[in-house]
Amino acid sequence: MKYVRIIKELTFGEIVSIAVVVVAPFAILYGLLT
């Protein structure tokens, strides 16, 4: 369960930055397809 410990050690800023990196490609693809 080391993933849980890693998640707990992340700061809010790091969580947001990771979320942006993950969502950005999908947002770009969605924008191109619509």
The H-assigned helical ranges of 1-34 are 2-9, 12-33
pTM: 0.48
The pLDDT assigned to 14 comes to 85
What does the alpha-carbon distance between residue 6 and residue 21 come to, in Å, rounded to a whole number?
Answer: 18
Residue 12 has what pLDDT?
81
**Across 16-22, average pLDDT:** 90
Domain boundaries, the chain: 2-33
* Percent of residues, the chain, with pLDDT higher than 90: 38
Per-residue pLDDT, 9: 76
pLDDT of res. 31: 92
What is the CB-side half-sphere exposure of residue 7 using CA atoms within 13 A?
5
Please state, in angstroms and as integers, the Cα–Cα distance from residue 10 to each residue in 13, 24, 30, 32, 33, following that order.
8, 20, 29, 32, 34
